Amino acid sequence: MPIIDFHNHFYPPEYLAAVQEGPSNVRVTIDDEDNPVLHYPGDYNVIVPGHRIIEFRQSVLDEAGVDKQVLTFTSPGTHIESPDRSVPLARMVNDAFAEIVAQRSDRFTALATLPLNNVEATLAEFDRATDELGFAGFMLFSNVGGTALADESYWPLYERASDKGTVLYIHPIDPVGVEAMTEYWLMPLIGFTFDTTLAAAHLVFAGVPERYPGIRWALGHLGGAIPYLAERLDRGFYAFDECRANIDKPPSEYLKKFYYDTVNFDPKALQLAIDFAGTSQILAGSDYPHKIGNLEMMISSINELDLSDVERTAILGGNAARLLGL
């Protein structure tokens, strides 16, 4: 079974040119190595060749022994723009991803993005991306300008996603309370994982997985703290009436059906997630080409686990292939 990297990020050159030309709420500069730098409220990203040149990326995968990647967009997302501007940018990203997949299907597949600050347009782009472009899933950001994914304005999206058995992958973005995370890169190091944890817990307590059971949820960065805190969420279910208002089972019963990528390269942490959800729910991920990502550590951390050959093969690629119908 090939090795499939479920968690990595790519900026289509068309998108980079569009935000540089404007109008955009993203400011673009060029660093000393001719890399674009995207500046947006609270953060910036240096767009290295692996982020934007698909031929370069494929050569890196060859060297690392990775057979396939599931491309996803990343921060700041298109929802940082005005609602009208976010729509064409989301379409542009999805069209670019679809073209890469069509030309290089042996090495790449992708999850689409959505203009999440425009709910009506989000529904239209969901239909276009699934029906016309053939995407099996979407990456959602953990909040949309402070609006929770559990907000009822997104429930029409979840209804469609459930009906189609769509994969919805939650990746963090500027977290709630980011003002306390301005030093020492605390926002990506801690805030991202907290925001994923918050989004997943809120969705479960709000009853979204209960109401829309056809959705196949996946969480970035090993689910944040979900495998570690699931028991505490269950205690809340038994202790507080409001935590039982929308769900019939303890939160862990829903969360064990989520998928978790391995972007936490500590084998002990990976083992905790396996003990919680089982090997069938774990997806290899690298976070390439972000500075904090690592293709080699993705593979080595999984290989350090005490697993059967069948279990290891599933985590390295079999689970992703099954999830996305590859």
**DSSP bridge partners of 70:** 109
Strand 43-46, strand 36-40: pairing: antiparallel
pLDDT in tens, 178-214: 888 888 988 889 989 999 999 999 999 999 999 999 9
Which of 22-36, 266-280, 288-302 bottoms out in mean pLDDT, i.e. has the lowest? 22-36
Domain that holds residue 106: 4-324
Beta-carbon contacts of 124 under 8 Å, excluding residues fewer than 6 positions away, are none
> Between the CA of residue 165 and those of 61, 117, 276, what are the distances in Å?
30, 23, 23
| Percent of the chain predicted with pLDDT > 90 | 91
Residue type, 326: L
Phi, psi of 137 (to 5 degrees): -170, 180
Six-digit token string for 156:
């029409």
The CATH number of the domain holding residue 210 is 3.20.20.140
**Number of domains the chain is built from:** 1
pLDDT of 42 higher than 90 = no
Can you say whether the dihedral through the CA atoms of 208, 209, 214, 220 is positive or negative? positive
Highest-confidence range of 75-84, 179-188, 314-323, by mean pLDDT?
A: 314-323
Beta-carbon contacts of 79 under 8 Å, excluding residues fewer than 6 positions away, are 86, 115, 116, 117, 141, 144, 145
Query: For residue 7, which of 159, 228, 131, 167 has the smallest C-alpha distance?
Result: 167
